[in-house]
Amino acid sequence: MNATAPGAVIGSVMGEPSATGRFGQFGGRYVPESLVPACAALEAAFRDAWADPAFHERLARLRSEFAGRPTALTPALNLSAQLGVTLLLKREDLAHTGSHKINNVLGQALLAQRMGKTHLIAETGAGQHGVATATAAALFGMRATVYMGERDIARQQLNVFRMELLGAEVIPVTSGSRTLKDATNEAMRAWVAAVDEAHFCLGSVGGPHPYPWLVRELQRVIGEEARAQVPATPDVVVACVGGGSNAAGTFAGFVDTPARLIGVEAAGGAAMTDGRPGVVHGYRSLVLQDDDGQVLEAESIAAGLDYPGVGPEHAHLGTTGRAEYRTVTDGEVLDAVRRLARSEGIICALESAHAVAWVLRAAGTPDLPTGSTVLLTLSGRGDKDMATLAGEVR
Ligand SMILES: *Cc1c(COP(=O)(O)O)cnc(C)c1O
């Protein structure tokens, strides 16, 4: 049950990071002095909880009784026949609140409660992480404050309403590109100001140590369930990458197999492809930046992938060659949403459609030869994207 099994080798692939929170040359803890004790306390609480069978038991119960796990593994029979590959979908869209975000948030809320915190602060892009945080706060009787860029508020109205209905306070962020990057800055600032009673409930595998490790371990359930559900080791494991949490959780279940691991980014937010080493939001990774090191704005039709950084472990997996990264365009993504909907009866999130779009493009090419078996993590459902899709897809 323990995600990092006792005795796991430190520094092994997708095991524990170094003592300073490094995955190779990436990761670390680049935070203001005032946050160092909070990060250290969170790391200590996580180590303690992760070694406690009672914590794992509570988390397992929440996953099954509240979040609806294990999620299904669905063979995409029609697309498979059309494409000449065997496509298996890991259905995180079926998890409570509509995406994989709930896996991370339930674990962090349990940790926050264990640390005596009463307030969850979160950043959100498409709003899925905000909704998951608001949901956990309601369940645990905690206060929730969610920072969201003004531009994302405008394109994800449904999720704003869901958060408010759940009792969370949604704070519009008007700085910069008014998207996830800016919301993350504001949420970290709010954490500094309320660090005694508040837990910063970070939504992906970025941020200062221990977040990239903590969030990957909480998302590992995706990969471990899928590993038990697939009839045989797939040739390729693919997931979309924004910050990289659904991909990291999926990859963790297969990193010790011969499966190729492929992360798919938005062409307008491709830190793995276009980024250079730099520091953003408390960690060192590959970051979209200009020649002066100024962080650039990302641009994607999927609010959840509109982010200039990427989790440090992905930077490490990419640099060492264990995982590969691809990009797809907004146009390919819209086609993929429609094709999956019409051939399988599943309307996926714009983010998840990035992974589908890569399979559609690559099937039958040397990148994904005919006859391959592909496990694809469908990170979320498309309800939140209906307004965007209504204007683009007919
Ligand atoms: C948040 C989100 C993503 C991007 O986040 P990762 O950390 O890269 O997983 C992808 N898909 C959906 C449905 C999301 O809500």
Whose Cα sits closest to atom 1 in ligand 1? Answer: 304
Whether residue 64 lies in the annotated active site: no
From the CA of 241, give the closest atom in ligand 1.
8
pLDDT of the residue at 288: 96
Is residue 51 within 8 A of residue 343, CB to CB? The reply is no
Whose Cα sits closest to atom 13 in ligand 1? Answer: 380
| Rg, the chain, Cα only | 19
Whose Cα sits closest to atom 4 in ligand 1? Answer: 242
Residue 343 carries which side chain, given as an amino acid letter? S
Residues in contact with ligand 1 by the CB-under-6-Å rule are: 99, 101, 126, 128-129, 204, 240-246, 304-305, 349, 351-352, 379-380
State the DSSP H helix or E strand holding residue 155, giving kind and residue range, or none if neither. helix 150-155
From the CA of 205, give the closest atom in ligand 1.
7
How far apart, in whole angstroms, are the C-alpha atoms of residue 353 and residue 351?
5
pLDDT of the residue at 155: 86
Among 96, 285, 354, 379, say which to mutate for ligand 1: greatest number of ligand atoms within 8 Å of CB. 379
CATH assignment of 70-99+220-390, among 3.30.830.10, 3.50.50.60, 3.40.50.1100, 3.20.10.10: 3.40.50.1100
- How far is residue 10 CA from its own chain's centroid? 23
User: And the tokens for 42?
Assistant: 């969170």
The active-site residue, picked from 101, 117, 181, 384, is 101
Residues of the chain within CATH 3.40.50.1100 domain(s) are: 23-64+101-211, 70-99+220-390
The pTM of this model reads 0.96
Whose Cα sits closest to atom 10 in ligand 1? Answer: 351
Q: Is 23-64+101-211 assigned to CATH 2.30.30.180?
A: no
Whether residue 343 lies in the annotated active site: no
Whether residue 101 lies in the annotated active site: yes
Ligand 1 centre to CA of 211 (Å) is: 16
Long-range contacts of 223-226 (CB under 8 A, 24+ apart): 223/249, 223/250, 223/251, 223/252, 223/253, 223/254, 224/3, 224/252, 224/253, 225/69, 225/70, 225/71, 225/73, 225/90, 225/253, 226/73, 226/90, 226/250, 226/253, 226/254, 226/375, 226/377
Ligand 1 centre to CA of 335 (Å) is: 19
pLDDT in tens, the chain (394 residues): 344 444 445 556 899 999 999 999 999 999 999 999 999 999 999 999 999 999 999 999 999 999 999 999 999 999 999 999 999 999 999 999 999 999 999 999 999 999 999 999 999 999 999 999 999 999 999 999 999 999 999 989 999 999 999 999 999 999 998 999 999 999 999 999 999 999 999 999 999 999 999 999 999 999 999 999 999 999 999 999 999 999 999 999 999 999 999 999 999 999 999 999 999 999 999 999 999 999 998 899 998 898 999 999 999 999 999 999 999 999 999 999 999 999 999 999 999 999 999 999 999 999 999 999 999 999 999 999 998 899 887 6
From the CA of 98, give the closest atom in ligand 1.
13
pLDDT of the residue at 297: 86
Scanning the structure block, which residue is given the tokens 């975000």?
Answer: 101
pLDDT of the residue at 11: 53
